[in-house]
């Protein structure tokens, strides 16, 4: 599959936000993505094929850890290994900066839970009522070594 993983560009944001919108009940807005782009463009990557954005991953830098703020793949491109490729690339880059990756997942998001557990994330705790609609989150983490 001839797509590439590369750093995000500002001109990708519209396509990214559309994928976000089809993927999440409370999606980030264009402005929120622009803020992520300004603050965290060194930890923001896309999968691209012929100018089409297939998926993306963006992190937020914390103290000794990076939190995955969002990862999503275009619906018609799912189950083709795109997210696996994105997170492997992300992890390889982040290894030089921090020791731990963290992220939160809705407890009902089975595809994401299968995905994260399959690539070695482990449950650290349950965050009760974490989301605006009060759904619980699973806090996952992965040591980068
Ligand atoms: C979760 C998500 C990013 C996975 O992306 P993807 O590109 O389809 O994932 P991959 O093709 O790399 O899948 C790798 C493995 O994860 C697991 N997996 C992924 N989607 C799955 C699903 N719907 N059901 C069961 N397992 C699944 C499988 O083990 C899969 O391997 P396999 O296809 O060989 O069985 C994608 O479903 C998505 O964009 N969901 C909406 C956004 C979202 O929920 N993001 C995570 C929020 S924390």
138 close to ligand 1 (CB < 6 Angstrom): no
The predicted-structure confidence for 33-60, as pLDDT tens digits, reads as follows 999 999 999 999 999 999 999 999 999 9
Sign of the Cα torsion 62, 67, 73, 74 reads negative
Count CB atoms within 10 A of the CB of residue 143: 10
What's the predicted TM-score (pTM) here? Answer: 0.96
The predicted-structure confidence for 83-132, as pLDDT tens digits, reads as follows 999 999 999 999 988 999 999 999 999 999 999 999 999 999 999 999 99
Tokens at 135, concatenated: 């759904």
120 close to ligand 1 (CB < 6 Angstrom): no
Query: Which among 78, 89, 121 is the best mutation to test ligand 1's pocket, defined by most ligand atoms within 8 Å of the CB?
Result: 78
Domain 4-143 has CATH 3.40.50.300: no
C-alpha pair distances (Å), 39 with each of 32, 58, 118 = 11, 11, 30
Domain ranges of the chain: 4-143
């Amino acid at each position: 599959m001839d797509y590439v993983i590369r750093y995000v560009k500002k001109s990708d944001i519209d396509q990214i936000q559309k994928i976000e919108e089809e993927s999440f009940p409370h999606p980030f807005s264009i402005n929120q993505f622009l803020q992520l782009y300004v603050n965290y463009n060194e930890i923001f990557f896309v999968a691209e094929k012929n100018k089409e954005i297939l998926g993306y991953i963006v992190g937020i830098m914390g103290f000794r850890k990076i939190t995955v703020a969002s990862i999503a793949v275009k619906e018609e491109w799912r189950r083709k290994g795109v997210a696996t490729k994105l997170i492997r690339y992300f992890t390889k880059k982040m290894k030089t900066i921090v020791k731990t990756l963290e992220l939160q997942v809705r407890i009902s998001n089975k595809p994401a839970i299968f995905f994260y557990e399959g690539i070695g994330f482990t449950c650290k705790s349950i965050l009760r009522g974490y989301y605006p609609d009060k759904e619980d989150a699973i806090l996952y983490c992965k040591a980068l070594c």
